[in-house]
Amino acid sequence: MRKIPEPKPLFLERMKSLLGKDFNNYMEILKHEPVRSLRTNTLKITPEKLKEKLEKKNWIIKQPFKEYPEIMIVENDLNPGELGRALEHLLGYYYIQELASMLPIIALKPKPDETILDLCSSPGSKTTQMASYMNNSGIIVANEVSLGRIKILASNLERCGVTNTIIAKKDGIALCERLKKENFQFDKILVDAPCSGEGTLRSTLKTYLMWNIKTIKSVSRIQKNLVSSALDILKPNGELIYSTCTHAPEENEEVIDFIMKKFNNIKIEKISLPVKPREGITKW
């Protein structure tokens, strides 16, 4: 249990409206740190061998999803920073990644022969996950507008032994416009869009203090433009995953509603995930 900053009244009001009877459970969950989850980098090691190595360190390892043995949870307490300082992490045997962050790539199902765009890619958690599922085959274009964040992205790609990825430094919308002029299209696209970060409250407490409705409205406009631009360079019968780490309907369902009304040649696909998600909302 830990003390959390007092959320702003408007945030609480919105979450009560969004979650209904689940609101109290949500507030209780926020008092606890996220589980220590990691993803095996199968480009360098098998889940079985990694589990064996970590258990020799007296870590209690659980693999919560039978169909995804690369996903692991460390159940016992660790010293601060121990997960990141471990030799196995430094060697790129695993990537520290929250479970929710892994779901978009599970849904995307990258395949070795595909050409995929990761439009907003740093720090590289999902890019490296793609590369491992593709076994370093095919092509990933990992775009990031910030030079500082590109350095982090490049470092993680190198640590994880990723060799099928090209890094691009460009505003996401501008990149899509340029590629459209060149008639370049992708089999699959991930738009893991910049967002208000409401879903990171447990790991980034400052989000409580930074939260405001103006940010939500501002990033919602950016998100709509990013997805619209990305769809222009998606191959016929291609697939696009849109994901955020926030709860705000303006950044989730509203974006999808906007896109579905703007484009008449797309449809929403059913996806299979190893967890049971909440139903999307249809009014707000």
* Residues that are catalytic: 245
Going by the DSSP 8-state scheme, the letter that residue 6 receives in this structure is: P
- For residue 283, with 0-12 CB atoms within 10 Å meaning exposed, 13-18 middle and 19 or more buried, which class applies? exposed
Backbone angles phi, psi at 149, to 5 degrees: -75, -25
Angle, helices 125-133/99-108, rounded to nearest 10 degrees:
40
Buried b (16+ CB within 10 A) or exposed e, 35-64: ebbbbbbbbbbebeebbebbeeeebebeee
Going by the DSSP 8-state scheme, the letter that residue 237 receives in this structure is: E
SS3 content of the chain, % helix, strand, coil (to 5): 40, 15, 40
